[in-house]
């Protein structure tokens, strides 16, 4: 019998995995070039360098020692948090991990007394967008841009807490 999937806090080694898997999966699934991996590396570095345990968190979805997904919640402003870097391994999709990770962010943001939770995503990321919408986030703005080697439609979502 396989162990249950647990959501745990980050520990050494997790940040390298987050960067690597974003780079690999977004290249394979969406054709994003190495600039996307560089963006993720910068987000992860800032998270570690400026980490505020009372206001920020990274969750790793793991089954035993196997990492299956991750998400970050970071402080954007004193009363605004940002959900970042949601990822679920292809073999673990359909298990509700994305929803569990997003809900962990929402619960933590409320407990930390943020007033709003925001995120930036791309229109082509249908599965993630579906989770955000189902959890009450509302699309507030779209913006065409050229990033990661291709034309994209960026989307800004928010959830009033």
Quick one: pLDDT band at residue 9, thresholds 50, 70, 90? Answer: very high
Residue 1 has pLDDT above 90, yes or no: no
**Domain membership of residue 73 as a residue range:** 6-160
Q: Which of 127, 161, 129 is nearest to 142 (CA)?
A: 129
Question: Considering the domain boundaries, does residue 22 fall inside one?
Answer: yes
pTM value? 0.95
Question: Considering the domain boundaries, does residue 1 fall inside one?
Answer: no
pLDDT score for 2:
54
Query: For residue 144, which phi and psi values (nearest 5 degrees)?
Result: -70, 140
Please give the mean pLDDT across all residues of the chain. 96
When divided into structural domains, the chain yields a total of 1
3-state secondary structure (DSSP) of residue 28: helix
| CB 106, CB 117: distance < 8 Å | yes
Question: Considering the domain boundaries, does residue 144 fall inside one?
Answer: yes
């Amino acid at each position: 019998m396989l162990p249950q999937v647990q959501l745990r806090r980050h520990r050494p080694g997790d940040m390298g995995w987050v960067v690597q898997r974003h780079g690999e999966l977004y290249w394979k699934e969406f054709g994003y070039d190495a600039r996307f991996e560089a963006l993720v590396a910068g987000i992860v570095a800032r998270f570690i360098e400026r980490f505020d345990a009372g206001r920020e968190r990274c969750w790793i979805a793991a089954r035993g020692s196997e990492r299956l997904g991750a998400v970050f919640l970071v402080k954007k402003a004193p009363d605004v948090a940002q959900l970042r870097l949601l990822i679920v391994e292809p073999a673990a999709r359909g298990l509700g991990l994305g929803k569990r990770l997003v809900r962990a962010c929402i619960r933590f943001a409320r407990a930390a007394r943020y007033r709003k939770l925001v995120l930036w995503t791309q229109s082509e990321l249908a599965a993630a967008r579906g989770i955000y919408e189902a959890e009450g986030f509302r699309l507030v703005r779209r913006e065409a841009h050229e990033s990661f080697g291709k034309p994209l439609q960026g989307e800004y979502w928010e959830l009033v807490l």
